[in-house]
Amino acid sequence: MGVSQLSPTLLLRPLARREAVLSSRIEGTATTLEQLTLFEARAGGPAPPDAVEVFNYHQALQHGLDPHRAVPMSLRLIRELHRILMHDVPRSDPTPGEFRREQNFIGVPGRPLEARFVPPPVPQMHACLDDFEKFLHASNTIPPLIRLAMIHYQFEAIHPFFDGNGRVGRLLLSLLLCEYQILPTPLLHLSAFFEANRERYYDALRRVSTHNDWEGWFDYFLDAVVAESQATMDRIHRINALRDTYHDQLRSAKQTALTARAVDEFFVLPITTATAIAKSLGITYRGAQKILGRLQRLGMVRLMSKERRRGRLYWAPDVLKAFEKG
């Protein structure tokens, strides 16, 4: 099976999870892709402190990408994304989903005189946000990727929330790549490059404000697009090859189409339960257990935890590694 034949549903959510991990890591979280997937598979429960924050990012991204969302691209949608991002996160923005009502700054908390950057005061902030929203929808001849780079800088410079501005700004990039029809599906995310080149990321943004160095920011942004486009294609090829290998093994072992569908479920969520498999395939819990037993014997799936009955977790380590690699 070639890349053009690969079902996007096998890639969209896992790549979105990876984006959630890496965008949040720029802000200092330490959750891994495995921990986030485990948290999602358990539908909550015990988790590292940062897992909720990263999971919220993933949920906000899914909300923004939902083709049936009621709210169009707008300041209202941006507030919705922020509310989801900050939901139930300790020590976060005290007014999730609302633009700030006081001055803020970027730097060490409690030391405003040493701030690295001071965003506009509240009255000017609202004027800037009005201009920002108009620019989102304006017809112009600016090349689309340059326009995205300008939008990201503008949002970060306005800094309209007390917390979460960087993550919301990077969320917008993923959404606007599809909104502006640069991509048909949201397979490209840029946070991996930003995280790997974090100091250059902050410096390039800062130099637009201090030196009007748009060219330096555009160079950095386009480097990110090129690098992550190639990395995403490599990841798609790698995942596609692994899936082909698994399906070939299943055919050789004369397994059913239902078992092949169960394997594909692990590409959507590499850690899951028999209950979730049963629900996805429309079969009984016992039937799902039998299929998972076959996949274990074939070495594709392992038992991750030995809780009683329906709490048992199964995982596909090679699938998880394929998404993490790079």
The contacts of residue 296 (CB under 8 Å, 6+ apart) are 302, 303, 314
Number of structural domains (the chain) is 2
**In 3-state terms, what secondary structure has residue 308?**
coil
Q: Residue 217: its pLDDT value, please?
A: 98
Q: What is the DSSP string of 29-93?
A: ----HHHHHHHHHTTSSS--TTHHHHHHHHHHHHHHH-TT-SSPSSHHHHHHHHHHHTTT-TTS-
pLDDT in tens, the chain (326 residues): 333 355 666 788 899 999 999 999 998 888 889 889 988 887 656 666 788 889 999 999 999 998 888 899 999 999 999 999 999 887 777 889 999 999 988 876 767 777 788 899 999 999 999 999 999 999 889 999 999 999 999 999 999 999 999 999 999 999 999 999 999 888 899 999 999 999 999 999 999 999 999 999 999 999 999 999 999 999 999 999 999 999 999 999 999 999 999 999 999 999 999 999 999 999 999 999 999 999 999 999 999 876 656 678 999 999 999 998 76
Q: What is the rounded CA–CA span in Å between residue 295 and residue 301?
A: 6
The contacts of residue 117 (CB under 8 Å, 6+ apart) are 105, 106, 107, 157, 159, 206, 209
Number of residues in the chain = 326
Task: Specify if 3 maps to a domain.
Answer: no
Tell me: do 161 and 296 sit in the same domain.
Answer: no
Q: What is the pTM of this model?
A: 0.89
Q: What is the rounded CA–CA span in Å between residue 225 and residue 24?
A: 19
Name the helix (H) or strand (E) containing 266.
helix 257-268
CB atoms within 10 A of CB 131: 13
Tell me: do 86 and 194 sit in the same domain.
Answer: yes
Contact yes or no for 3/177 (Cβ under 8 A): no
For tokens 């979730």, the residue is 276
- How is residue 261 written in tokens? 């569908």
Task: Specify if 306 maps to a domain.
Answer: yes
Please give the residue range of the domain that contains residue 312.
253-324
Tell me: do 86 and 213 sit in the same domain.
Answer: yes
Residue 95: C-alpha distances to residues 48, 77, 88, 172, 314 (Å): 24, 16, 12, 20, 38
CATH number at residue 280: 1.10.10.10
Write down which residue in 166, 199, 231 finishes a domain: 231
Q: Residue 1: its pLDDT value, please?
A: 38
